[in-house]
Chain A
Amino acid sequence: MLGFLERPVVVTADINLNVVALTAVGLLSRLWQLAYPRAVVFDEVYYGQYISFYMKRIFFLDGSGPPFGHMLLALGGYLGGFDGNFLWNRIGAEYSSNVPVWSLRLLPALTGALLVPMAYQILLELGFSHCAATGAALLILIENALITQARLMLLESVLIFFNLLAVLSYLKFANSQKQRPFSLRWWFWLTLTGMACSCAVGVKYVGVFTYLLVLAVAGVHAWHLIGDRTLSHVRVLCHLLARAAALLVVPALMYLLFFYVHLTLVCRSGPHDQIMSSAFQASLEGGLARITQGQPLEVAYGSQVTLKNVFGKPVPCWLHSHQSTYPMIYENGRGSSHQQQVTCYPFKDVNNWWIVKDPGRHPLVVSNPPRPVRHGDIVQLVHGMTTRFLNTHDVAAPLSPHSQEVSCYVDYNISMPSQNLWRLDIVNRESDTEVWKTILSEVRLVHVNTSAVLKLSGAHLPDWGFRQLEVVGEKLSRGYHESMVWNVEEHRYGKSQEQKERELELHSPAQMDVSRNLSFMARFLELQWRMLTVKSDDSEHKYSSSPLDWVTLDTSIAYWLHPRTSAQIHLLGNIVIWASAGLATAVYALLFFWYLLRRRRCIRDLPEGCWLRWVLAGALCAGGWAVNYLPFFLMEKTLFLYHYLPALTFQILLLPVVLQHVADHLCRSPLLRSVFGSLVVAWYSCACHVFNTLRPLTYGDRSLSPGELRALRWKDTWDILIRKY
């Protein structure tokens, strides 16, 4: 018990100076003059606005990725004391003094710097020599594109960091599996693998590909484990459960946690509210919540309501009517009923108010006690300002001739009877007698006579309809679609029987007292769904490129240009590394298939351990390259050169693997080996030279003359900016 008295407490530290040195140069290369330039560089303009939203705690919606990456960037701003007051509108705009540029850029730069020692570690864990491992780290160190990307407020280097962390910790875990399973170290690396994977996915969706790769490798290892007959059944089960928990459950929980923190942080209403459902908006501070706070929950006969379309595309809008009627004859010669128009209007307006009426009773006020409306009830909807009834009939709609026209009924005495009864169908009901609830209930209005469903067609009416959106009765309802679903947004109990009083009442803001909250899971699911389905407007950019251009570095991106001199930051890769990494992948693939075919004929060129190492290195590095590159061919979004960087990092890791393999196994004589060694050194100094030549474009610190810039334009497709004086 008192053992520490008998024996001294000994701490043995095992410091690998290689790692220390690599970390130091990595930090130096990434952090050097980090706050320069003090201006918005390229996509900082995009991420910056979200940082500001976090600082002001305003809700936003960004379809490009989950919130973890944005939150990490915002953390830098928080630590630097950023107040969020900066207008992110133009690339090249000078930062005002309240923007802590250095701390905002610090986190990506740190992760970028750590890639260098991590590359070293990964190669060691894969079972390759220190020499190869150092080579991998040095290659990452002098890759210009990685440096440029890491020194700015961008997410790629964070993503790559978590990708490599996942691979590294999985390798550490797999190696400790051989020694002591279920030890502390084993658990640590296993859990870290899962966490790194979910962080990678949390930064950008493309992180999911690395996650799948790690899962696949883990799956193969687990399959071998199942086949290991020296282990008992129980022990195998424990192994499998531990892996499932760490690699499936932990990442899922972490992912939820990101959203939880995100939603806790951004709790105020903001410019992106409109895209979300009414219920979601009501859960944010300010905005809709201020209006709906204190509304009665249950819609009753006599309630005054505004009805919002749940689908809300092309724009969110409310059911609307106004004095104008449909034109007698449309431009294309078809006729209409000439009754009052019913549209969907994207702005708040007094004409959006409707009164729910019981067809059997006359009054338009809520009785005491209120009689709630339930699923399946027949109702009439009366337009508040004009007191006309919502109606549909067998007349073709103005822009969608296959559907019925919806109008507010005007009696012209022309034997066209009013058909204004609607059956209420609550879509998200839990029981068949559920009450129609404000905000929460999603309802379909089914016409009683024709069983048409009230629907937003999405088309804009022409001038006579004031460019509002068309509302139709869909006869052939081919299934559930959100454009047919509506929810009550604003709601109050009507009190005034007289039309004049009622108009006054409609103009006054609604106010009463009940509050409601949405559960976290409901908010998470809605936010995630909207993030995945929100469409970006346009898909063209001056510097966009196609995946085919990336491998050969046939494209570049101008990030920033000094306002006066021609100092500039330009995303360009180290062409030597780029080309040799591509070559290494091809060599690897060829050698792999060659060995594989020969093994099948029982000719073993490599000893078994060496072969397994070779396969694992290929699965992770070449596989990592493939899964991070090939899916881009199927994507329809705008692509840029920087999307290739995660794949490139894996490819660079493969380079020393192939080189060492060639040196060890293909160079048979010592002479050949030393020739090969000197070639590698020459090649590396060549890469260093390229790095040095492109350095002014990477750091943007030195203004080059037009002649020098022109000399740097090694490929016609590189758009290096050259000022004309």
Chain B
Amino acid sequence: VTLLSFATRFHRLDEPPHICWDETHFGKMGSYYINRTFFFDVHPPLGKMLIGLAGYLSGYDGTFLFQKPGDKYEHHNYMGMRGFCAFLGSLLVPFAYLTVLELSRSLPAALLSAALLTFDTGCLTLSQYILLDPILMFFIMAAMLSMVKYNSCADRPFSAPWWFWLSLTGINLAGALGVKFVGLFIILQVGWNTISDLWHLFGDLSLSVVTVGKHLTARVLCLIVLPLTLYTATYAVHFMVLNKSGPGDGFFSSAFQARLSGNNLHNASIPEHLAYGSVITVKNLRMAIGYLHSHRHLYPEGIGARQQQVTTYLHKDYNNLWIIKKHNTNADPLDPSFPVEFVRHGDIIRLEHKETSRNLHSHYHEAPLTRKHYQVTGYGINGTGDSNDFWRIEVVNRKFGNRIKVLRSRIRLIHLVTGCVLGSSGKVLPKWGWEQLEVTCTPYLKETLNSIWNVEDHINPKLPNISLDVLHPTFPEILLESHMVMIRGNNGLKPKDNEFTSKPWHWPINYQGLRFSGINDTDFRVYLLGNPVVWWLNLLSIVLYVLLGSIIAIAVQRGAHLPAEVEGLSQVLLQGGGQLLLGWMLHYFPFFLMGRILYFHHYFPAMLFSSMLTGILWDTVLQLCAWSLASPFLARGMYAAGLLSLLLGTAYSFYLFHPLAYGMVGPLAQDPRSPMAGLRWLESWDF
């Protein structure tokens, strides 16, 4: 089984020699690790770290840019990273085999499950590229396998294999969570299994309370403490490796950025207190909102007043610079003849945009997206505006009259005329606003992070610079912050209205695949689509399983006496199958609740569970059929025939659909000359 799995996964691994689909992201992030530049991604770091490590070990130097899908790799060594993913992907099949064998104690069931996975074009395709999914699925399956193994050691508690499998479960849980947050579902499954296990032990009156306590402690240690430690450790490595400033800086707070060498806050020395005439950048305290920004573009007609746009922008840019001025005089405070005057809590100020010399302004027009807020614009010429340009600067939780500290003071800007508070709604403006975030003035004076800012850069030649060693966030702080940013990033991935998006109900019916590479008939095309025979068999099996399972459960509840053989089979079906069904449900149903944009490949962990369930189910069904037949010879024959036809059927369907995974050139499927002619069984498959 293992050999076959490796053979299928490594066959034509080097093709196509260009970037396919999300390789552009994850390959790039692998390179970032090799180059040690900081970046931001919505997934936890372990998966990308492993990819980077694989690349590093295989001699990839991190110089390839991974700009867009279709770019040729040329001389760059990409096989290491692909090979690593394919290696993990190949292990899924033996893992499934062992898990099913352990659950059902039936070799044919295990073989069937392994065959389903080996011959599934979808799993094959997903395992062949530089993606997070093979790594995630590897950890999920490994956790499942070790959990099942450890369950079967339950009669020898505290023995060496027991400890081994228990701690291995914990390690794999940490791995799964460290690759994607979807790993949470397998944690739930293991958690459920552990609780029911403990409940069982607790009810066993032959065990003393102390023994049960020992069991509990062992599980807490291996399944909670150990994974958490490992998970935190991956972050520690992540932060240690990535110590250079990179494209992800703007997503993080000022304190966080100070850690990164190359960032302008790293070992920076800037004036400590804000004074009139200072040039500053203002950053929103809410994570992943960015800097107060303006540019030479007006709000379009029909959207508030036709004045200059004010937005927030995540990246560092000279358009983020503002000058603090007094509200009532336009004199240049940097004139050396004036003494330095500090800005104090409660002062009325004017903020002038450095590049365009327009003042930060607000008025009773509705904001572009948040209709109940007021619009914020840039107004005035060369700093001369009107009274709507006046803002009162306040420091949160400080006394009036205090000076304002760079970086550390949390400030609010209150519009003098309307009494509203400057904030960012966090909503993305349409194209006219360059997809930057909306800035509004909110009349609701609730204290939220959206309306609190801090001063980040500060330039004032009249003030002495001091070194900012104060900004050394502790490890728990940066850990927490990076999680907040990731969650916000995940929530930000919202589908657009007029686009076709993949829906969870599409997935089990294999409604539509994902195009990995190539569109036209001359391109080398790879299309991620499950082997329809396997997938529809899985779907049928789930329905059949639920039916059969409830019939047996009701029969037992009614007190029917089952023959010993059927009793054993139904035990396997209800317990082993039940665990797999739970796994399938946990990895599938939560997607219905998710608001973020979803893709077809999110279903694959669930698909692994449903394939294993199919194996157990058909083995049991065939055995039951065979048992009901009278003659033992006929029974054995029919069992073998059924099993063989299932195995050969999947193998043949793999032969039919293999061009999807290994890639094809030639006309599209409508054409009879195409390699896939006649196989476009659903209109929605676009290969």
Q: Does A311 sit within 8 A of B, measured CB to CB?
A: yes
Query: Is residue B317 within 8 Å, beta carbon to beta carbon, of the partner chain?
Result: no
- Taking the complex as formed, is A399 at the interface, i.e. its CB lies under 8 A from any CB of chain B? yes
B301 A463 Cβ-Cβ under 8 A: yes
A:527-543 near B, CB below 8 Å: 537-538, 540-542
Residues of B within 8 A of A458 (CB): 496-498
- Whole-angstrom distance between the Cβ of A318 and the nearest chain B Cβ: 16
On chain A, the residues within 8 Å of B559 by CB distance are: 227, 229
Identify the 10 closest CB pairs spanning chains A and B, nearest first.
A458-B498, A481-B500, A478-B500, A483-B498, A227-B557, A479-B500, A600-B203, A226-B557, A229-B559, A479-B684
Residue of A nearest to B425 (CB): A540
Would A538 and B370 be within 8 Å (CB), given that A233-B558, A476-B519, A600-B202 are in contact? yes
Subset of 7 A-B contacts with CB under 8 Å: A227-B558, A236-B558, A462-B300, A477-B500, A477-B686, A540-B370, A540-B372
Q: B498's contact among A233, A311, A478, by CB below 8 Å, is which?
A: A311
Known: A226-B558, A481-B499, A483-B498. 6 other contacts (CB 8 A): A236-B558, A456-B498, A467-B302, A476-B519, A477-B500, A540-B370
Chain B residue nearest to A597 (CB atoms) is B202
1/0 per residue, CB under 8 A from A, across B425-453: the answer is 00000110000000000101000000000
Query: By the criterion CB–CB under 8 Å, are A459 and B302 in contact?
Result: no
Which chain B residue lies CB-closest to A311? B498
* Contact of B595 with A by CB under 8 A: yes
Decide: A481 and B370 in contact? CB cutoff 8 A: no
Could you tell me the distance between the alpha carbons of A687 and B485 in the complex, rounded to whole angstroms? 45
CB-CB < 8 A to B431: which residues of A?
399, 459
Interface: B232 (CB within 8 A): no
Interface residues on B, range: 20 to 34
Known A227-B557, A233-B558, A480-B684; judge A537-B497 contact (CB<8 A).
no
Whether, in the assembled complex, A313 has its beta carbon less than 8 Å from a beta carbon of chain B, the answer is: yes
Given the complex, which residues of A lie within 8 Å of B301, measured CB to CB? 463
Contact residues of A between 585 and 637, Cβ < 8 Å to B: 597, 600-602, 634, 636
B300 to chain A, nearest CB (A): 8
Residues of A near B497 (CB, < 8 A) are 313-314, 458
Given the complex, which residues of A lie within 8 Å of B300, measured CB to CB?
Answer: 462
- Judge whether B240 is part of the interface by a CB distance below 8 angstroms: no
CB of A36 within 8 A of chain B? Answer: no
Q: Are B205 and A223 in contact (CB under 8 A)?
A: no
Q: Contact partner of B372 among A311, A314, A483, A538, CB < 8 A?
A: A538
| Cβ of A556 under 8 Å from chain B | no
- Is the pair A479, B512 in contact by a Cβ cutoff of 8 Å? yes
B160 at the interface (CB under 8 A from A): no
B470: interface (CB < 8 Å): no
- B: residues with CB less than 8 A from A are 199, 202-203, 205, 209, 300-302, 370-373, 430-431, 442, 444, 496-500, 511-512, 519, 554, 557-559, 593, 595, 684, 686
The closest CB in chain B to the CB of A459 belongs to B431
Residue interface bits A244-267, CB-to-B below 8 A is 1, else 0? 000000000000000000000000
Cα–Cα, bound, A483→B501 (Å): 12
**Is A457 at the interface (CB under 8 A from chain B)?**
yes
A313 partner residues in chain B, CB cutoff 8 A: 497-498
Binding site secondary structure of chain A: loop
Q: Which residue of B lies closest to A535 (CB)?
A: B497
C-alpha gap A223/B595 in the complex (Å): 35
**What's the minimum C-beta distance from A228 to chain B, rounded to whole angstroms?**
9
Give min CB distance, A538 to chain B, whole Å. Answer: 5
A633-659 CB contact bits vs B (8 Å, 1 = yes)? 010100000000000000000000000
| Cα A236 to Cα B205 with chains together (Å) | 35
- Chain B nearest CB from A716 CB (Å) reads 11
**B255 nearest CB across to chain A (Å):** 27
User: Given the interface contacts A476-B519, A634-B593, A636-B595, does A226 sit within 8 Å of B554 by beta carbon?
Assistant: yes
Contact residues of A between 274 and 303, Cβ < 8 Å to B:
none
Contact B444 A542, beta carbon cutoff 8 Å? yes
Chain B residues closer than 8 Å to A457, beta-carbon distance: 498
Question: Could you tell me the distance between the alpha carbons of A542 and B373 in the complex, rounded to whole angstroms?
Answer: 11
| Interface residue tally on A, bucketed by range | 35 or more
Task: State whether B371 touches A538 (Cβ < 8 A).
Answer: yes
Cα distance A481–B500 in the bound complex, in angstroms: 6
**A225, B496: Cα distance in complex, Å:** 50
Contacts of A229 in B (CB 8 A): 558-559
User: B686 contacts A478, CB within 8 Å?
Assistant: yes
Whole-angstrom CA separation of A636 from B593 in the bound complex:
11
Residue pair B595, A601 in contact (C-beta under 8 Å): no
Find chain A residues with CB under 8 A from B209 CB. Answer: 601
User: How far is it, in angstroms, between the C-alpha of A399 and the C-alpha of B593 when the chains are bound?
Assistant: 32
Contacting residue for B202 out of A314, A467, A538, A601, CB 8 A: A601
* B373 contact set on A, CB distance < 8 A: 540
Residue pair B498, A481 in contact (C-beta under 8 Å):
yes
Contacts of A481 in B (CB 8 A): 498-500
List chain A residues, Cβ under 8 A from B302: 467
Give chain A residues whose Cβ lies under 8 Å from the Cβ of B684: 479-480
The B-contacting residues of A in range 329-376, CB under 8 angstroms, are none
Shortest distance from the beta carbon of B498 to any chain A beta carbon, whole Å = 4
In the complex formed, the residue of A with least CB distance to B209 is: A601
User: Smallest CB–CB gap between B14 and chain A, Å?
Assistant: 27
Q: Give A399 to B432 CA distance when docked, in angstroms.
A: 11
Residues of B within 8 A of A597 (CB): 202
Scan residues 467-481 of chain A and give those whose CB is less than 8 A from a CB of chain B: 467, 476-481
A477 partner residues in chain B, CB cutoff 8 A: 500, 686
Residue in A314, A459, A601 whose beta carbon sits within 8 Å of that of B205 in the complex: A601
Write the nearest CB–CB distance from A109 to chain B, whole angstroms: 32
Q: State the Cβ distance, B680 to closest chain A Cβ, in Å.
A: 14
Distance from A329 Cβ to chain B, minimum over Cβ atoms (Å): 17
Q: How far is the CA of A480 from the CA of B442 in the complex (A)?
A: 40
Bound complex: CA A45 to CA B558 (Å): 56
CA gap between A227 and B205 in the complex, in Å: 26
> In A378-435, which residues have CB < 8 Å from any B CB?
399
What is the chain A residue whose CB lies nearest that of B595?
A636
Q: How far is the CA of A602 from the CA of B203 in the complex (A)?
A: 8
Determine the residue in chain B with the shortest Cβ distance to A543: B444
Chain A residues near B370: list those with CB within 8 A: 538, 540
Residues from chain B with Cβ under 8 Å of A542 in the complex: 444
Min C-beta distance of B112 to chain A, whole Å: 32
Residues in A whose Cβ lies below 8 Å from that of B496: 458
Distance of B155 from chain A, by nearest CB (Å): 21
Whether A540 contacts B203 in the complex (CB less than 8 A), given A476-B519, A636-B595, comes out as: no
Q: Collect the chain A residues with CB atoms within 8 Å of residue B558's CB.
A: 226-227, 229, 233, 236
B-side contacts of A227, CB under 8 Å: 557-559
Bitwise, A434-455 to B at CB < 8 A (1) or not (0) is 0000000000000000000001
CB distance from B451 to the nearest CB of A (A): 12
**A456-B498, A538-B370, A538-B372 known; A478 and B203 CB under 8 Å?**
no
Q: Using Cβ atoms and an 8 Å threshold, which residues of chain B touch A541? A: 372
CA distance A481 to B512 in the complex (A): 13
Give every chain B residue within 8 A of A483 (Cβ-Cβ): 498
Interface residues of A in 88-146 (CB under 8 A from B): none
The answer to whether B205 and A537 have CB atoms under 8 Å apart is no
Task: Give the residues in chain B near A601, CB-CB below 8 Å.
Answer: 202-203, 205, 209
- Residue in A457, A478, A601 whose Cβ sees the most chain B Cβ within 10 Å: A478
Taking the closest CB of chain B, its distance from the CB of A37, in whole angstroms, is: 26
Residues of B within 8 A of A314 (CB): 497
A236–B202 alpha-carbon span in the complex (Å): 34
Q: What are the residues of chain B within 8 A of A399 when measuring CB–CB? A: 431
**Contact partners of B430 in chain A: CB under 8 A:** 459
Instruction: Give chain A residues whose Cβ lies under 8 Å from the Cβ of B205.
Output: 601-602
State the CA gap A463–B442 with chains docked (Å).
Answer: 30
A624 CA / B497 CA spacing, docked (Å): 36
**Chain B contacts of A476 at CB under 8 A?**
519, 686
Closest Cβ of chain A to B202, distance in Å, is 5
Interface positions of A from 507 to 545, Cβ below 8 Å from B: 537-538, 540-542
Selected from A459, A600, A602, the residue in CB contact (under 8 A) with B199 is A600
